[in-house]
Structure 1
Amino acid sequence: MLDDKRIRIVTGHYGSGKTEFSVNYAVELAKIKRKVALVDLDVINLYFRSREKSSLLENMGIKVISSSINAPAVDIPAISGEVYAPLEDESYDVVLDLGGDPAGARVLGRYEEFFVNGKYDMFYILNANRQETSTADKAIEYLKRIENMARIKVTALVNNTHMLKSTTVDDLLRGQKVALEVSEKLDIPIKYISVIKNVAALLPKDMKGEIFPMDLYMREEWMV
Protein backbone atom coordinates (compact mmCIF):
# COMPACT_ATOMS: atom_id res chain seq x y z
CA MET A 1 0.00 0.00 0.00
CA LEU A 2 2.84 2.37 0.76
CA ASP A 3 4.07 2.37 -2.84
CA ASP A 4 0.65 3.09 -4.37
CA LYS A 5 0.02 6.60 -5.68
CA ARG A 6 -1.55 9.10 -3.30
CA ILE A 7 -4.83 9.13 -5.26
CA ARG A 8 -6.33 5.66 -5.65
CA ILE A 9 -9.35 5.13 -7.88
CA VAL A 10 -11.36 1.94 -7.41
CA THR A 11 -13.48 0.75 -10.33
CA GLY A 12 -15.02 -2.43 -11.66
CA HIS A 13 -18.21 -4.18 -12.58
CA TYR A 14 -21.32 -3.62 -10.48
CA GLY A 15 -21.26 -6.25 -7.73
CA SER A 16 -17.56 -6.96 -8.06
CA GLY A 17 -16.90 -5.90 -4.47
CA LYS A 18 -15.16 -2.59 -5.19
CA THR A 19 -16.83 -0.75 -2.30
CA GLU A 20 -15.81 -3.43 0.20
CA PHE A 21 -12.27 -3.19 -1.12
CA SER A 22 -12.34 0.63 -0.95
CA VAL A 23 -13.50 0.63 2.67
CA ASN A 24 -10.95 -1.99 3.74
CA TYR A 25 -8.19 -0.17 1.89
CA ALA A 26 -9.03 3.12 3.61
CA VAL A 27 -9.10 1.38 7.00
CA GLU A 28 -5.66 -0.14 6.41
CA LEU A 29 -4.25 3.24 5.41
CA ALA A 30 -5.66 4.79 8.57
CA LYS A 31 -4.01 2.05 10.64
CA ILE A 32 -0.59 3.11 9.41
CA LYS A 33 -1.26 6.66 10.59
CA ARG A 34 -2.10 8.10 7.21
CA LYS A 35 -4.43 11.08 6.80
CA VAL A 36 -7.14 9.38 4.76
CA ALA A 37 -10.17 10.53 2.78
CA LEU A 38 -12.64 8.03 1.34
CA VAL A 39 -14.72 9.63 -1.40
CA ASP A 40 -17.96 7.94 -2.42
CA LEU A 41 -18.44 8.84 -6.09
CA ASP A 42 -21.13 6.22 -6.69
CA VAL A 43 -24.01 7.93 -8.50
CA ILE A 44 -25.19 4.64 -10.05
CA ASN A 45 -26.26 2.29 -7.27
CA LEU A 46 -28.46 3.11 -4.28
CA TYR A 47 -27.26 0.17 -2.17
CA PHE A 48 -23.98 -0.85 -0.50
CA ARG A 49 -22.32 2.55 -0.79
CA SER A 50 -19.33 3.43 1.34
CA ARG A 51 -21.21 6.46 2.68
CA GLU A 52 -23.41 4.01 4.65
CA LYS A 53 -20.47 3.42 7.01
CA SER A 54 -19.59 7.08 7.52
CA SER A 55 -19.92 7.04 11.32
CA LEU A 56 -17.83 3.90 11.73
CA LEU A 57 -15.12 5.14 9.37
CA GLU A 58 -14.97 8.63 10.83
CA ASN A 59 -14.46 7.08 14.28
CA MET A 60 -11.38 5.45 12.75
CA GLY A 61 -10.08 8.84 11.67
CA ILE A 62 -11.17 8.55 8.02
CA LYS A 63 -12.77 11.55 6.35
CA VAL A 64 -15.80 10.35 4.35
CA ILE A 65 -17.12 12.52 1.52
CA SER A 66 -20.21 11.67 -0.47
CA SER A 67 -23.40 13.35 -1.64
CA SER A 68 -23.96 17.06 -1.15
CA ILE A 69 -27.47 16.12 -0.05
CA ASN A 70 -27.75 14.57 3.38
CA ALA A 71 -30.23 11.86 2.40
CA PRO A 72 -28.37 8.57 2.08
CA ALA A 73 -31.50 6.56 1.30
CA VAL A 74 -32.49 8.80 -1.60
CA ASP A 75 -31.09 8.07 -5.05
CA ILE A 76 -29.95 11.58 -6.04
CA PRO A 77 -26.73 11.84 -8.12
CA ALA A 78 -25.34 14.85 -6.27
CA ILE A 79 -21.61 15.07 -5.50
CA SER A 80 -20.21 17.34 -2.83
CA GLY A 81 -17.76 20.11 -3.68
CA GLU A 82 -15.76 18.82 -0.70
CA VAL A 83 -14.23 16.23 -3.03
CA TYR A 84 -11.74 18.83 -4.25
CA ALA A 85 -10.24 19.45 -0.80
CA PRO A 86 -8.35 16.14 -0.29
CA LEU A 87 -7.47 15.97 -3.99
CA GLU A 88 -5.75 19.36 -3.71
CA ASP A 89 -4.29 18.78 -0.24
CA GLU A 90 -1.30 16.48 -0.73
CA SER A 91 -1.22 15.61 2.96
CA TYR A 92 -4.20 13.32 2.27
CA ASP A 93 -4.20 9.79 0.93
CA VAL A 94 -7.37 9.56 -1.16
CA VAL A 95 -9.52 6.57 -2.10
CA LEU A 96 -12.14 7.28 -4.78
CA ASP A 97 -14.91 4.67 -4.80
CA LEU A 98 -16.58 4.86 -8.22
CA GLY A 99 -19.99 3.62 -9.19
CA GLY A 100 -20.03 0.28 -10.96
CA ASP A 101 -19.92 -0.13 -14.73
CA PRO A 102 -18.52 2.27 -17.34
CA ALA A 103 -21.23 4.82 -16.56
CA GLY A 104 -19.88 5.09 -13.03
CA ALA A 105 -16.50 6.20 -14.37
CA ARG A 106 -17.95 9.20 -16.21
CA VAL A 107 -17.86 11.27 -13.03
CA LEU A 108 -14.03 11.31 -13.11
CA GLY A 109 -14.10 13.85 -15.94
CA ARG A 110 -14.62 16.77 -13.58
CA TYR A 111 -11.42 15.86 -11.68
CA GLU A 112 -9.13 15.11 -14.64
CA GLU A 113 -6.66 17.85 -13.64
CA PHE A 114 -5.60 15.70 -10.68
CA PHE A 115 -4.74 12.67 -12.80
CA VAL A 116 -2.24 14.24 -15.20
CA ASN A 117 1.27 12.80 -15.46
CA GLY A 118 0.23 9.54 -13.85
CA LYS A 119 -0.52 11.02 -10.42
CA TYR A 120 -2.98 8.26 -9.57
CA ASP A 121 -3.54 4.51 -9.41
CA MET A 122 -6.72 3.03 -10.81
CA PHE A 123 -7.50 -0.43 -9.46
CA TYR A 124 -9.74 -2.64 -11.60
CA ILE A 125 -11.62 -4.98 -9.27
CA LEU A 126 -12.09 -8.30 -11.02
CA ASN A 127 -14.61 -10.83 -9.77
CA ALA A 128 -14.56 -13.84 -12.08
CA ASN A 129 -17.78 -15.07 -10.48
CA ARG A 130 -19.63 -12.24 -12.25
CA GLN A 131 -20.91 -13.38 -15.63
CA GLU A 132 -19.77 -10.21 -17.42
CA THR A 133 -16.16 -10.64 -16.20
CA SER A 134 -15.97 -14.43 -15.98
CA THR A 135 -13.35 -14.78 -18.74
CA ALA A 136 -10.27 -12.77 -19.62
CA ASP A 137 -11.78 -11.55 -22.88
CA LYS A 138 -14.95 -10.36 -21.15
CA ALA A 139 -12.97 -8.71 -18.34
CA ILE A 140 -10.73 -6.93 -20.87
CA GLU A 141 -13.70 -5.67 -22.86
CA TYR A 142 -15.25 -4.30 -19.67
CA LEU A 143 -11.97 -2.73 -18.56
CA LYS A 144 -11.57 -0.97 -21.91
CA ARG A 145 -15.09 0.43 -21.71
CA ILE A 146 -14.33 1.85 -18.25
CA GLU A 147 -11.05 3.38 -19.47
CA ASN A 148 -12.79 4.97 -22.46
CA MET A 149 -15.42 6.53 -20.23
CA ALA A 150 -12.94 7.62 -17.55
CA ARG A 151 -10.35 8.85 -20.10
CA ILE A 152 -7.55 7.47 -17.95
CA LYS A 153 -5.88 4.06 -17.77
CA VAL A 154 -6.18 1.23 -15.28
CA THR A 155 -2.82 0.80 -13.53
CA ALA A 156 -3.38 -2.42 -11.57
CA LEU A 157 -5.70 -5.40 -11.19
CA VAL A 158 -7.28 -6.70 -8.00
CA ASN A 159 -8.45 -10.31 -7.95
CA ASN A 160 -11.56 -10.08 -5.79
CA THR A 161 -13.31 -13.24 -6.93
CA HIS A 162 -15.79 -13.98 -4.19
CA MET A 163 -19.12 -15.43 -3.15
CA LEU A 164 -19.48 -13.13 -0.13
CA LYS A 165 -19.30 -15.15 3.11
CA SER A 166 -19.29 -18.40 1.12
CA THR A 167 -16.04 -17.58 -0.68
CA THR A 168 -13.60 -20.47 -1.02
CA VAL A 169 -9.95 -20.87 -1.96
CA ASP A 170 -11.12 -22.36 -5.26
CA ASP A 171 -12.99 -19.13 -6.04
CA LEU A 172 -9.80 -17.12 -5.63
CA LEU A 173 -7.68 -19.57 -7.61
CA ARG A 174 -10.18 -19.60 -10.48
CA GLY A 175 -10.24 -15.81 -10.46
CA GLN A 176 -6.46 -15.71 -10.37
CA LYS A 177 -6.30 -17.61 -13.66
CA VAL A 178 -8.51 -14.98 -15.28
CA ALA A 179 -6.55 -12.13 -13.69
CA LEU A 180 -3.24 -13.59 -14.87
CA GLU A 181 -4.50 -13.82 -18.44
CA VAL A 182 -5.75 -10.23 -18.33
CA SER A 183 -2.44 -9.12 -16.82
CA GLU A 184 -0.42 -10.82 -19.54
CA LYS A 185 -2.56 -9.56 -22.41
CA LEU A 186 -2.66 -5.95 -21.21
CA ASP A 187 0.67 -5.77 -19.37
CA ILE A 188 -1.10 -4.58 -16.21
CA PRO A 189 0.12 -6.03 -12.89
CA ILE A 190 -2.01 -7.88 -10.37
CA LYS A 191 -1.48 -5.71 -7.30
CA TYR A 192 -3.79 -7.31 -4.75
CA ILE A 193 -5.69 -10.52 -4.10
CA SER A 194 -8.47 -9.36 -1.79
CA VAL A 195 -10.46 -11.90 0.20
CA ILE A 196 -12.16 -12.40 3.56
CA LYS A 197 -9.69 -13.09 6.34
CA ASN A 198 -10.49 -16.74 7.04
CA VAL A 199 -9.84 -17.61 3.37
CA ALA A 200 -6.77 -15.36 3.07
CA ALA A 201 -4.95 -17.53 5.60
CA LEU A 202 -5.43 -20.58 3.36
CA LEU A 203 -4.17 -19.13 0.06
CA PRO A 204 -0.84 -20.21 -1.47
CA LYS A 205 1.91 -17.76 -0.57
CA ASP A 206 3.42 -17.67 -4.08
CA MET A 207 0.47 -16.07 -5.85
CA LYS A 208 1.14 -13.02 -8.04
CA GLY A 209 -0.08 -10.02 -6.11
CA GLU A 210 -0.20 -9.08 -2.44
CA ILE A 211 -2.77 -10.99 -0.40
CA PHE A 212 -5.13 -8.42 1.10
CA PRO A 213 -7.28 -9.87 3.94
CA MET A 214 -10.59 -8.09 4.37
CA ASP A 215 -13.38 -7.68 6.87
CA LEU A 216 -16.93 -7.48 5.49
CA TYR A 217 -17.85 -3.98 6.57
CA MET A 218 -20.61 -3.65 3.96
CA ARG A 219 -22.40 -6.88 4.94
CA GLU A 220 -24.39 -6.81 8.14
CA GLU A 221 -24.05 -9.84 10.44
CA TRP A 222 -27.49 -11.13 9.48
CA MET A 223 -26.71 -11.03 5.75
CA VAL A 224 -25.50 -14.17 4.00
Structure 2
Amino acid sequence: MQKKLQLTVVCGHYGCGKTNLALNLALEAAQEGGQVTVVDMDIVNPYFRSSEYGELLESRGIRLIAPVFAGTTLDTPTLPPEIYSIFEGGGQVFLDVGGDDAGITALGGLHEQMEAAGYEMLYVINRYRVLSQKPEEAAALLREIESASRLKATGLVNNSHLGVETKLSTVLDSMPYAEETHRLTGLPLLYSTVPDFALEKEAQLPAGCRKISRLVRFLWE
Protein backbone atom coordinates (compact mmCIF):
# COMPACT_ATOMS: atom_id res chain seq x y z
CA MET A 1 0.00 0.00 0.00
CA GLN A 2 1.40 3.37 -1.01
CA LYS A 3 2.18 5.75 1.83
CA LYS A 4 0.08 8.92 1.98
CA LEU A 5 1.66 12.06 0.53
CA GLN A 6 2.98 14.50 3.15
CA LEU A 7 4.10 17.90 1.87
CA THR A 8 6.23 20.17 4.06
CA VAL A 9 7.25 23.62 2.85
CA VAL A 10 10.22 25.25 4.61
CA CYS A 11 10.25 29.01 4.06
CA GLY A 12 11.68 32.16 5.61
CA HIS A 13 14.02 35.10 5.17
CA TYR A 14 17.57 34.91 3.76
CA GLY A 15 20.01 33.33 6.19
CA CYS A 16 17.40 32.01 8.61
CA GLY A 17 18.64 28.44 8.09
CA LYS A 18 15.87 27.03 5.91
CA THR A 19 18.10 24.70 3.92
CA ASN A 20 19.83 23.26 6.98
CA LEU A 21 16.47 22.61 8.63
CA ALA A 22 15.00 21.05 5.47
CA LEU A 23 17.99 18.71 5.18
CA ASN A 24 17.69 17.67 8.83
CA LEU A 25 13.98 16.97 8.48
CA ALA A 26 14.52 14.94 5.31
CA LEU A 27 17.31 12.86 6.86
CA GLU A 28 15.22 12.17 9.95
CA ALA A 29 12.30 11.10 7.77
CA ALA A 30 14.57 8.80 5.76
CA GLN A 31 15.71 7.07 8.95
CA GLU A 32 12.09 6.16 9.63
CA GLY A 33 11.82 4.48 6.24
CA GLY A 34 9.58 5.20 3.30
CA GLN A 35 10.00 7.43 0.28
CA VAL A 36 11.52 10.87 0.92
CA THR A 37 11.98 13.68 -1.61
CA VAL A 38 13.64 17.08 -1.28
CA VAL A 39 12.61 19.79 -3.75
CA ASP A 40 15.09 22.65 -4.08
CA MET A 41 13.06 25.74 -4.98
CA ASP A 42 15.88 28.21 -4.39
CA ILE A 43 16.06 28.91 -8.10
CA VAL A 44 18.21 32.04 -8.02
CA ASN A 45 20.56 32.09 -5.04
CA PRO A 46 23.60 29.86 -5.82
CA TYR A 47 24.62 29.57 -2.15
CA PHE A 48 23.24 27.47 0.69
CA ARG A 49 20.70 25.48 -1.28
CA SER A 50 19.70 21.85 -1.11
CA SER A 51 21.13 21.05 -4.54
CA GLU A 52 24.65 21.40 -3.12
CA TYR A 53 24.01 18.35 -0.92
CA GLY A 54 22.84 15.92 -3.57
CA GLU A 55 25.45 13.30 -2.72
CA LEU A 56 24.47 13.30 0.95
CA LEU A 57 20.80 12.93 0.10
CA GLU A 58 21.45 10.19 -2.45
CA SER A 59 23.53 8.25 0.07
CA ARG A 60 20.49 8.14 2.36
CA GLY A 61 18.11 7.11 -0.39
CA ILE A 62 16.51 10.56 -0.68
CA ARG A 63 15.38 11.79 -4.07
CA LEU A 64 16.40 15.34 -5.00
CA ILE A 65 14.51 17.50 -7.46
CA ALA A 66 16.75 20.44 -8.29
CA PRO A 67 16.41 23.53 -10.48
CA VAL A 68 17.47 23.09 -14.07
CA PHE A 69 21.17 24.11 -14.35
CA ALA A 70 21.71 23.84 -10.58
CA GLY A 71 25.38 23.16 -9.88
CA THR A 72 26.52 24.78 -13.12
CA THR A 73 27.85 28.24 -13.95
CA LEU A 74 24.58 29.24 -15.61
CA ASP A 75 22.54 31.72 -13.59
CA THR A 76 19.08 31.31 -15.14
CA PRO A 77 17.75 28.15 -13.43
CA THR A 78 14.11 27.16 -13.83
CA LEU A 79 11.88 24.69 -12.07
CA PRO A 80 12.16 21.22 -13.59
CA PRO A 81 9.05 19.62 -15.10
CA GLU A 82 9.50 16.63 -12.79
CA ILE A 83 8.44 18.77 -9.82
CA TYR A 84 4.83 17.96 -10.68
CA SER A 85 5.55 14.28 -10.08
CA ILE A 86 5.51 14.88 -6.32
CA PHE A 87 1.72 15.10 -6.49
CA GLU A 88 1.41 11.74 -8.19
CA GLY A 89 2.99 9.54 -5.53
CA GLY A 90 3.19 9.17 -1.78
CA GLY A 91 5.86 9.55 0.87
CA GLN A 92 7.26 12.67 2.46
CA VAL A 93 8.26 15.70 0.38
CA PHE A 94 10.20 18.67 1.74
CA LEU A 95 10.23 21.85 -0.33
CA ASP A 96 13.17 24.15 0.43
CA VAL A 97 11.91 27.55 -0.74
CA GLY A 98 14.32 30.39 -1.48
CA GLY A 99 14.22 33.61 0.49
CA ASP A 100 13.84 35.73 -2.65
CA ASP A 101 10.81 36.77 -4.69
CA ALA A 102 11.60 34.25 -7.45
CA GLY A 103 11.52 31.24 -5.16
CA ILE A 104 8.37 32.33 -3.36
CA THR A 105 6.57 33.21 -6.60
CA ALA A 106 7.51 29.84 -8.09
CA LEU A 107 5.89 28.17 -5.09
CA GLY A 108 2.78 30.22 -5.77
CA GLY A 109 2.54 28.56 -9.16
CA LEU A 110 1.91 25.29 -7.35
CA HIS A 111 -0.63 26.58 -4.85
CA GLU A 112 -3.62 24.80 -6.37
CA GLN A 113 -1.90 21.42 -6.30
CA MET A 114 -0.56 22.11 -2.81
CA GLU A 115 -3.96 23.01 -1.44
CA ALA A 116 -5.58 19.98 -3.05
CA ALA A 117 -2.96 17.62 -1.60
CA GLY A 118 -2.75 19.28 1.81
CA TYR A 119 0.48 20.68 3.22
CA GLU A 120 2.41 21.93 6.21
CA MET A 121 4.27 25.23 5.78
CA LEU A 122 6.97 26.00 8.31
CA TYR A 123 7.94 29.66 8.70
CA VAL A 124 11.55 29.72 9.92
CA ILE A 125 12.74 32.73 11.92
CA ASN A 126 16.18 33.81 13.09
CA ARG A 127 16.46 36.67 15.54
CA TYR A 128 20.08 37.27 14.56
CA ARG A 129 19.51 37.99 10.86
CA VAL A 130 19.24 41.51 9.50
CA LEU A 131 15.71 42.66 8.60
CA SER A 132 14.13 40.05 10.87
CA GLN A 133 15.63 40.91 14.26
CA LYS A 134 12.36 42.23 15.64
CA PRO A 135 9.12 40.22 15.94
CA GLU A 136 7.33 42.95 13.99
CA GLU A 137 9.79 42.52 11.10
CA ALA A 138 9.38 38.74 11.14
CA ALA A 139 5.59 39.12 11.08
CA ALA A 140 5.76 41.54 8.15
CA LEU A 141 8.01 39.18 6.18
CA LEU A 142 5.55 36.36 6.75
CA ARG A 143 2.76 38.41 5.22
CA GLU A 144 4.91 39.03 2.15
CA ILE A 145 5.74 35.33 1.81
CA GLU A 146 2.11 34.26 2.15
CA SER A 147 0.98 36.85 -0.38
CA ALA A 148 3.57 35.83 -2.99
CA SER A 149 3.14 32.08 -2.46
CA ARG A 150 -0.66 32.19 -2.18
CA LEU A 151 -0.28 29.72 0.67
CA LYS A 152 -0.67 30.05 4.43
CA ALA A 153 2.01 29.12 6.95
CA THR A 154 0.88 26.52 9.47
CA GLY A 155 3.67 26.67 12.06
CA LEU A 156 6.60 28.68 13.34
CA VAL A 157 10.13 27.32 13.88
CA ASN A 158 12.60 29.38 15.89
CA ASN A 159 15.93 28.69 14.21
CA SER A 160 17.83 31.60 15.78
CA HIS A 161 21.55 30.93 15.49
CA LEU A 162 24.96 32.49 14.99
CA GLY A 163 26.57 29.80 12.87
CA VAL A 164 29.55 28.12 14.54
CA GLU A 165 29.35 30.70 17.33
CA THR A 166 25.96 29.39 18.45
CA LYS A 167 25.69 28.40 22.08
CA LEU A 168 22.74 27.09 24.05
CA SER A 169 22.38 30.57 25.55
CA THR A 170 22.08 31.94 21.97
CA VAL A 171 18.92 29.91 21.51
CA LEU A 172 17.54 30.55 25.00
CA ASP A 173 18.02 34.31 24.58
CA SER A 174 15.88 34.18 21.43
CA MET A 175 12.87 32.60 23.16
CA PRO A 176 11.07 35.88 24.00
CA TYR A 177 11.51 36.95 20.37
CA ALA A 178 9.99 33.68 19.18
CA GLU A 179 7.09 33.93 21.64
CA GLU A 180 6.28 37.47 20.54
CA THR A 181 6.45 36.47 16.87
CA HIS A 182 4.06 33.64 17.70
CA ARG A 183 1.70 36.17 19.32
CA LEU A 184 1.85 38.59 16.38
CA THR A 185 1.39 35.95 13.65
CA GLY A 186 -0.99 33.62 15.46
CA LEU A 187 1.11 30.66 14.31
CA PRO A 188 1.86 27.87 16.76
CA LEU A 189 5.50 27.86 17.86
CA LEU A 190 6.41 24.27 17.02
CA TYR A 191 9.94 24.22 18.45
CA SER A 192 13.26 26.01 18.71
CA THR A 193 16.29 24.36 17.15
CA VAL A 194 19.55 23.72 19.00
CA PRO A 195 22.69 22.70 17.03
CA ASP A 196 24.11 19.44 18.36
CA PHE A 197 27.53 21.03 18.92
CA ALA A 198 25.94 23.64 21.23
CA LEU A 199 24.90 20.94 23.70
CA GLU A 200 27.39 19.70 26.25
CA LYS A 201 27.71 15.96 26.70
CA GLU A 202 24.70 14.47 28.45
CA ALA A 203 23.08 17.91 28.66
CA GLN A 204 19.32 17.96 28.75
CA LEU A 205 17.61 19.44 25.72
CA PRO A 206 15.44 22.34 26.98
CA ALA A 207 11.69 21.96 26.76
CA GLY A 208 10.29 23.03 23.42
CA CYS A 209 13.62 22.49 21.65
CA ARG A 210 14.73 20.14 18.89
CA LYS A 211 18.31 19.11 18.23
CA ILE A 212 19.64 19.44 14.68
CA SER A 213 22.97 18.92 12.93
CA ARG A 214 24.87 21.66 11.16
CA LEU A 215 24.98 20.29 7.63
CA VAL A 216 25.19 23.52 5.62
CA ARG A 217 28.67 25.01 5.55
CA PHE A 218 30.08 28.30 4.35
CA LEU A 219 32.11 28.17 1.13
CA TRP A 220 35.35 28.87 3.01
CA GLU A 221 34.91 26.02 5.51
**TM-score (ref. length: structure 2):** 0.89
Structure 1 distance, partners of 2:141, 2:219, is 32
Using a 3 Å threshold, how does the CA distance of structure 1 residues 71 and 162 change in structure 2: closer, same or farther? closer
In 1, are the aligned partners of 2:136 and 2:184 still within 8 Å (CA)?
no
Residues 118 and 83 of structure 1: is their aligned pair in 2 closer, same or farther, counting only changes over 3 Å?
Answer: closer
Post-superposition offset of 1:68: 2.5
Read off the aligned partner of 1:76 and give its amino acid letter: T
Distance 1:142 1:70 in 2: 27
Aligned-partner residue type, residue 129 of structure 1: Y
In 2, the alpha carbon distance for the partners of 1:124 and 1:21 equals 11
One-letter identity of the residue aligned with 1:47: Y
Q: Cα 1:18–1:73, aligned 2, differ >3 Å: closer, same or farther?
A: farther
With normalisation by structure 1, the TM-score equals 0.88
1:7-46 matches, within 5 Å, as 7-46=7-46
1:152 corresponds in structure 2 to 151
Q: Which residue identity is paired with 1:121?
A: E
Tell me which amino acid in the other structure corresponds to 1:214. I
Cα shift readout 1:50-86 (whole Å, capped 9, x = no counterpart): 1111111111010001023364443222111111112
Aligned partner of 1:157: which letter? L
Q: Kindly indicate whether the alpha-carbon contact (under 8 Å) linking 1:194 and 1:212 is maintained by their aligned counterparts in 2.
A: yes
Q: Is the 8 A contact 1:7 1:120 kept in 2?
A: yes
Q: Aligned residues: percent identity?
A: 33
Quote the residue 1:64 is aligned against.
Answer: 64
Q: Give the structure 2 partner of residue 53 of structure 1.
A: 53
Tell me, yes or no, if structure 1 residue 205 matches structure 2 residue 203. no
C-alpha distance in 1 between matches for 2:187 and 2:199 = 23
Query: Structure 1 CA distance, aligned partners of 2:100 and 2:80?
Result: 21
Partner Cα separation in structure 2 for residue 176 and residue 148 of structure 1? 27
Quick one: structure 1 residues 16 and 56, their matched pair in 2 at CA, closer, same or farther if it must change by over 3 Å? same
- Does the alignment pair 1:216 with 2:214? yes
Residue aligned with 2:131, SS: helix
Seen in structure 2, the aligned counterparts of structure 1 residues 186 and 79 have a Cα distance that, compared at 3 Å, is: same
Task: Quickly say closer, same or farther: Cα 1:142–1:70, change in 2 above 3 A.
Answer: closer
CA distance 1:83–1:23, shift in 2 (3 Å) = same
Runs of 4+ in 1 over 4 A off after TM superposition: 200-204
Cα distance between partner residues in 2 of 1:25 and 1:200: 19
TM-superposition CA deviations, 1:28-55 (whole Å, max 9, x none): 0001113100000101311111111111
- Gap regions ≥5 residues in structure 1: none
Unpaired runs of 5+ residues, structure 2, are none
Deviation track 1:156-195 (CA, whole Å, cap 9, x = no partner) reads 1111001111101222123221111111222211113222
Structure 2 CA distance, aligned partners of 1:70 and 1:125?
A: 24
Which amino acid letter does the alignment assign opposite residue 78 of structure 1?
A: T
> Pairwise CA RMSD of aligned residues?
2.1
The 1:82/1:140 distance shift into structure 2, 3 A limit, reads: same
Q: Deviations over 1:177-218 (max 9, x none)?
A: 1111111222211113222113256576333xxx22222222
